[in-house]
A and B are shown apart, each in its own frame.
Chain A
Amino acid sequence: MNETMTDPAQLLTTLGLIIVAMPVLLVAMFFGAFLINRHPGEQKISFCIQFAIGVSLLAAASAAATMLWHRVAQHPIELGDWVITPHYHLKFEFVLDLLSLSYVTLTLVLCAVIGAFSTRYLHRERGYERFFVLFALFLLGMVTTSLSDTVETLFAGWEMVGLSSVLLIAFFQERPSPPRNGLRVWIVYRVCDVALMLAAILMHEINGAGDFDHLVGNSAWPAHDPLLIGPHFTLLGVLFVIAAAGKSALVPFCGWLPRAMEGPTPSSAVFYGALSVHLGAFLLLRVSPVLDSSIWLQIAVVVLGVTTSAFAYLSGRVQSDIKSALAFASLTQVGIIIAEIGLGFRYLALLHLLGHACLRTLQFLRAPSLLHDHHQLENAIGSRPHEEGVMWEQKLPPATQRWLYRFALERGYLDSILEKGIARPFVRLFRGLDALETKWAKWLDGEPQAEKAPRNLQ
């Protein structure tokens, strides 16, 4: 009995399962209440959120302490084989290691802060209940992704994060633009999810399973046993980078980031300032040994990070609203984190990610009271604060300055390129096919064709 109690492996498994179980219970409870038409009050919702996050956080902290105490570098938690056929193996598995515990602790701390903030910020808001249902789904998705040890587990959490993000962007659903922007974000997410799906298939083809440890060996993150060399690993890396680019709004998918600011401030803070926007970087950290398989892939990741960073810096300089400016500032740092991953500085990238997420959450949460803060500051110092900063662009020729300004204002024309180059031709093609199909069906039914309108009325 005593042996069982003190067995660190069993204790870690229990703690790991508690971390995941609490968000699962939270989602099940909210969804169940909705189905049977019960509407828990604000206080009950707030208590449930804080309790669930608190218990999960306690479990995460205990797990970290246990691992440190017993010098356990990583601990897998197998939930059994979901599907096992001679040709296919689908397993749900979690892992406790430096990366997963750091990210899940960050998630839980920030969600606890945002949860507490939101209960007051959204007090008596019509969609209060809806917000917290989606918030719970987001929490579950983040926890699942953070602790995942197989690509399928990661994909499950990844999708939950995507769906909850999109529905929260469309939170103020009576206005037309939030749902429209939510749909745009969803399209980008779905396009990049295709890459993640293909990466999962390729992992199964390479290893016969989607386990990350099959790919990178049994060493604890960030070390890895085998040297992964070969074109299939490079292809796998490219697919992971595309998936990460979509989720973290890297170039050329960064057009959705300012659109995502349509949601309520707490969701913007936790999604696009702190957690969701870093998920791409987290994915690249998790599969970092795959990136090491090719020097060209590493260079591509660095270039992608630097380009995103430069682009976000420029775009951020011309934003006229605080949330968009913060979003681009956040993206600037995400770009640098991606470049750090490409350069092989894994610990630095992780530290950068954790610190940046906390800082940006604070800034987002203070954003609605920015003017109030400025007034207080001015009152305290007795004058307007002196603005500092390097205006290097003033040294450029005026024509270049104008071009840069327009480039930044139009966000690198990326949105219009994607719209004109992909979205519009797609819609035109399928609308044309639809018209043909309708015509064909009418002809088969023997319906009279509509007469052409006179030319001068067209």
Chain B
Amino acid sequence: MILSAPSWVELTLLLPLLGAVVVYFLKLPAVAANASLGFFITTLLTATVATWSFAGKKIPALMHFAVDDLAAPMLPVLVLLHLLTLLGTAKSRVSPMFCVRLLIANFISLAAVTCQTPWMLIALLLLGVLLPLWDLVSRGQRVRGYLIHMGLFVVLLVTGWQFAGQEIGYGLLLIALLLRGGIVPLHGWLPTLFQGAAYGTAMVFVLPLIEVLAALRLLLPSTPEWMLNAASVACLITAVYGGGMAIVQSEVRKFFAHVCLSQTALVMFAVMLHTSNGLTAALCLWISSSLSLAGLAFSVRALEARFGPLSLPEHHGLYQQVPGLAVCFLFTGLASVGFPGTIGFVPMELLLSGSADQGLWVSGTLAIAAMFNGIAILRAYFALFTGKRPTTSVSLQMTPVERFSVILIALTVFLGGWFSPGLVASRHHTADQLLERAGPGATKK
């Protein structure tokens, strides 16, 4: 029996939720991991079919959910991101509860991206905040900093929505989303989350860049221009700050957190440009950054699973042990900064040219942020993979599952670069639709 397009969307939304319920009742970690893997692979297939069946016309699904231009390409991207998180987790670290959290996180991100009503989106954003909290508490970590930040986020989001349609409401919503995106100086929670929570939990909270979606859905129609301009300056500063901080970090996790900070700021900056070029760049960067950073995080997690927490000031010489992970680290890291031939190249070019309307100094600042990130990536690569080889009595080569994941990442990162023209055309169309929703007066070059 061939399912209709709405049914594929509904399956995509419900499978992770069903998976979370099933896995909750499983006691053995290995069984839970295998079951989760099955659910993720099935969801990836259904999400791909749902995206494939999208032909420019909104596909309605359950209640408030539907697949539109914005959501269509994001469905497989989000499932892939969660799948890679699971594949990158060492067997010894997988617990049934971790799998449950991962499946719920996938459901929340898929639901958020397909959600068509603002209040439901806000509810999902609030729900998403609870997962890292659950993880932090279960690991006995300090949560006060996270609670303060996310408490403020919740208050600003809810209050902002109460005053929706007024300038104050948009202002509060904007600050809330900047806080969720870790824009300086509201970024204090992000590096500590990566240090305190499970790496996987932090990844799936940060990398889907749900704040970008929320900004597109909640803010863009009518937020005053001066507010967006002010926010874009904050994003620009954060992009440079994150890149600079990533260069001087001495721990891998903090390095990754700051690279994420910088990349998120670049995407948010593109959104705040609220121009056709800027939004096209934002939508393309959203996909490329999520995927390339997920690949980078995958290699970091696989390294940590073998060697424990790694520091950057000394050289670890891991290339000889795990050359596959070294290459994965390098090409995903470079893809995130827009290296030619990778998925990040065209979006980065679009962003730089899209920002030229604001002045050459803005493009220059963005190029400096990309330069900092590029330097940070190669510095970390040299620190981790060059140097004298450690001797181990057992082989630390990649497992077949990890090799499969690296091939999957490589295909995504490189083939994504080749298929960019089609992607850009569809994202440009979506960007124009978003701006039209804002009215003809808001459409700029």
Q: Which residue of B lies closest to A141 (CB)?
A: B340
Binary contact track B93-122/A, C-beta < 8 Å → 1, others 0: 000000000000000000000000000000
Binary contact track A270-281/B, C-beta < 8 Å → 1, others 0: 000000000000
Q: Is the CB of A183 within 8 A of B142?
A: no
Whether, in the assembled complex, B329 has its beta carbon less than 8 Å from a beta carbon of chain A, the answer is no
Q: Is the CB of A85 within 8 A of B428?
A: yes
Q: Are A166 and B142 CB-contacts (below 8 A) given A85-B280, A156-B345?
A: no
Q: Is the CB of A173 within 8 A of B378?
A: no
Q: How far is the CB of A305 from chain B (nearest CB, A)?
A: 26
Q: Is the CB of B188 within 8 A of A193?
A: no
Which residues of B (228-251) have their CB < 8 Å from a CB of A?
A: 241, 244-245, 247-249
Q: Measured between alpha carbons, how far is A444 from B192 in the docked complex, in Å? A: 10
Whether, in the assembled complex, A47 has its beta carbon less than 8 Å from a beta carbon of chain B, the answer is no
Q: Is the CB of B421 within 8 A of A190?
A: no
Q: Which of B340, B379, B403, B421 has the most CB of A within 10 A?
A: B340
Q: Measured between alpha carbons, how far is A90 from B346 in the docked complex, in Å? A: 9
Which residues of B (383-407) have their CB < 8 Å from a CB of A?
A: 385-389, 403, 406-407
Whether, in the assembled complex, B41 has its beta carbon less than 8 Å from a beta carbon of chain A, the answer is no
Query: What B residues does A81 contact at CB under 8 A?
Result: 421
Binds B, one of A197-205, A367-375, A405-413: A197-205
Q: Measured between alpha carbons, how far is A180 from B315 in the docked complex, in Å? A: 10
Q: Is the CB of A198 within 8 A of B364?
A: yes
Q: How far is the CB of A442 from chain B (nearest CB, A)?
A: 8
Whether, in the assembled complex, B168 has its beta carbon less than 8 Å from a beta carbon of chain A, the answer is no
Which residues of A (126-157) have their CB < 8 Å from a CB of B?
A: 152, 155-157
Which residues of B (180-194) have their CB < 8 Å from a CB of A?
A: 188, 191-192
CB < 8 Å neighbour of B248 from A36, A434, A446 = A434
Q: Is the CB of B350 within 8 A of A83?
A: yes
Q: Are A173 and B421 CB-contacts (below 8 A) given A83-B346, A198-B367, A201-B356?
A: no
CB < 8 Å neighbour of B339 from A159, A173, A186, A433 = A159
Q: How far is the CB of B37 from chain A (nearest CB, A)?
A: 21
Q: Is the CB of A174 within 8 A of B276?
A: no
Binds A, one of B1-9, B53-61, B157-165, B368-376: B368-376
Q: Is the interface of A mostly helix, strand, loop or mixed?
A: helix
CB < 8 Å neighbour of B386 from A173, A204, A427 = A173
Q: Is the CB of B364 within 8 A of A194?
A: yes
Q: Is the CB of A201 within 8 A of B410?
A: no
The interface size bin for chain B is 35 or more
Q: Is the CB of A201 within 8 A of B352?
A: yes
Q: Are A201 and B363 CB-contacts (below 8 A) given A159-B339, A193-B371?
A: yes
CB < 8 Å neighbour of A447 from B142, B247, B280, B424 = B142
Q: Is the CB of A205 within 8 A of B356?
A: yes
Q: Is the CB of B188 within 8 A of A440?
A: yes
Q: Is the CB of B375 within 8 A of A186?
A: yes
Whether, in the assembled complex, A116 has its beta carbon less than 8 Å from a beta carbon of chain B, the answer is no
Query: What A residues does B360 contact at CB under 8 A?
Result: 198, 201-202, 205
Q: Is the CB of A201 within 8 A of B353?
A: yes
Whether, in the assembled complex, A33 has its beta carbon less than 8 Å from a beta carbon of chain B, the answer is no
Q: Is the CB of A174 within 8 A of B341?
A: no
Q: Which residue of A lies closest to B382 (CB)?
A: A179
Q: Are A441 and B188 CB-contacts (below 8 A) given A86-B276, A186-B378, A446-B144?
A: yes
Q: Is the interface of B mostly helix, strand, loop or mixed?
A: helix
CB < 8 Å neighbour of B188 from A152, A201, A444 = A444
Q: Are A183 and B356 CB-contacts (below 8 A) given A85-B280, A156-B345, A197-B367?
A: no
Whether, in the assembled complex, B319 has its beta carbon less than 8 Å from a beta carbon of chain A, the answer is yes
CB < 8 Å neighbour of B350 from A88, A178, A194, A434 = A88
Query: What B residues does A174 contact at CB under 8 A?
Result: 317, 386-389
Q: How far is the CB of A220 from chain B (nearest CB, A)?
A: 27
Q: Measured between alpha carbons, how far is A385 from B142 in the docked complex, in Å? A: 76
Whether, in the assembled complex, B354 has its beta carbon less than 8 Å from a beta carbon of chain A, the answer is yes
Query: What A residues does B249 contact at CB under 8 A?
Result: 434
Q: Which residue of B lies closest to A194 (CB)?
A: B367
Q: Are A445 and B277 CB-contacts (below 8 A) given A174-B317, A198-B360?
A: no
Q: Is the CB of A187 within 8 A of B387?
A: no
Q: Is the CB of A87 within 8 A of B406?
A: no
Q: Is the CB of B315 within 8 A of A179?
A: yes
Q: Measured between alpha carbons, how far is A81 from B425 in the docked complex, in Å? A: 11
Q: How far is the CB of B352 from chain A (nearest CB, A)?
A: 6
Query: What B residues does A31 contact at CB under 8 A?
Result: 410
CB < 8 Å neighbour of A445 from B192, B319, B382 = B192
Q: Which residue of A lies closest to B429 (CB)?
A: A85
Query: What A residues does B247 contact at CB under 8 A?
Result: 427, 430
Q: Is the CB of B407 within 8 A of A88?
A: no
Whether, in the assembled complex, B334 has its beta carbon less than 8 Å from a beta carbon of chain A, the answer is yes
Whether, in the assembled complex, B321 has its beta carbon less than 8 Å from a beta carbon of chain A, the answer is no
Q: Which residue of A lies closest to B244 (CB)?
A: A430
Q: Is the CB of B378 within 8 A of A183?
A: yes
Q: Which residue of A lies closest to B372 (CB)?
A: A190
Q: Are A87 and B277 CB-contacts (below 8 A) given A34-B327, A35-B410, A437-B188?
A: yes
Q: Is the CB of B340 within 8 A of A156?
A: yes
Q: Is the CB of B340 within 8 A of A204?
A: no
The interface size bin for chain A is 35 or more
Q: Measured between alpha carbons, how far is A198 from B365 in the docked complex, in Å? A: 10
Q: Is the CB of B248 within 8 A of A183?
A: no
Q: Is the CB of B248 within 8 A of A85?
A: no
Query: What A residues does B145 contact at CB under 8 A?
Result: 441, 444-445
Q: Are A176 and B363 CB-contacts (below 8 A) given A205-B356, A426-B244, A430-B244?
A: no
Query: What B residues does A204 contact at CB under 8 A?
Result: 353, 356
Query: What A residues does B311 contact at CB under 8 A?
Result: none
Q: Which residue of B lies closest to A167 (CB)?
A: B330
Q: Measured between alpha carbons, how far is A187 from B379 in the docked complex, in Å? A: 10
Q: Measured between alpha carbons, how far is A445 from B192 in the docked complex, in Å? A: 9
Whether, in the assembled complex, A18 has its beta carbon less than 8 Å from a beta carbon of chain B, the answer is no
Query: What A residues does B149 contact at CB under 8 A?
Result: 444
Query: What B residues does A90 contact at CB under 8 A?
Result: 346, 349-350
Q: Measured between alpha carbons, how far is A200 from B346 in the docked complex, in Å? A: 13
Q: Is the CB of A176 within 8 A of B346?
A: no
Q: Is the CB of B340 within 8 A of A155?
A: yes
Q: How far is the CB of B424 from chain A (nearest CB, A)?
A: 5
Q: Are A198 and B346 CB-contacts (below 8 A) given A174-B387, A204-B356?
A: no
Which residues of A (78-111) have their CB < 8 Å from a CB of B?
A: 80-88, 90
Q: Which of A84, A163, A204, A430 has the most CB of B within 10 A?
A: A430
Q: Measured between alpha carbons, how far is A37 from B379 in the docked complex, in Å? A: 26
Q: Measured between alpha carbons, how far is A427 from B379 in the docked complex, in Å? A: 13
Whether, in the assembled complex, B222 has its beta carbon less than 8 Å from a beta carbon of chain A, the answer is no
Query: What B residues does A190 contact at CB under 8 A?
Result: 371, 374-375
Query: What B residues does A65 contact at CB under 8 A?
Result: none
Query: What B residues does A202 contact at CB under 8 A?
Result: 360
Q: Measured between alpha carbons, how far is A346 from B382 in the docked complex, in Å? A: 40
Q: How far is the CB of A166 from chain B (nearest CB, A)?
A: 7
Whether, in the assembled complex, B148 has its beta carbon less than 8 Å from a beta carbon of chain A, the answer is yes
Whether, in the assembled complex, B420 has its beta carbon less than 8 Å from a beta carbon of chain A, the answer is yes
Binary contact track B322-361/A, C-beta < 8 Å → 1, others 0: 0110010000001000011100011001101110100010
Residues of B participating in the A interface, judged by any CB pair closer than 8 Å = 142-145, 148-149, 188, 191-192, 241, 244-245, 247-249, 276-277, 280, 315, 317, 319, 323-324, 327, 334, 339-341, 345-346, 349-350, 352-354, 356, 360, 363-364, 367-368, 370-371, 374-375, 378-379, 382, 385-389, 403, 406-407, 410, 420-421, 424-425, 428, 445
21 pairs of residues in contact across A and B, judged by CB atoms under 8 Å: A85-B425, A85-B428, A88-B353, A90-B346, A156-B345, A157-B340, A166-B378, A170-B382, A183-B378, A183-B379, A186-B375, A190-B371, A194-B371, A197-B352, A197-B370, A198-B363, A202-B360, A440-B188, A441-B191, A444-B144, A445-B145
Residues of A participating in the B interface, judged by any CB pair closer than 8 Å = 31, 34-37, 80-88, 90, 152, 155-157, 159-160, 163, 166, 170, 173-174, 176, 178-180, 182-183, 186-187, 190-191, 193-194, 197-198, 200-202, 204-205, 426-427, 429-431, 433-434, 437, 440-441, 444-447
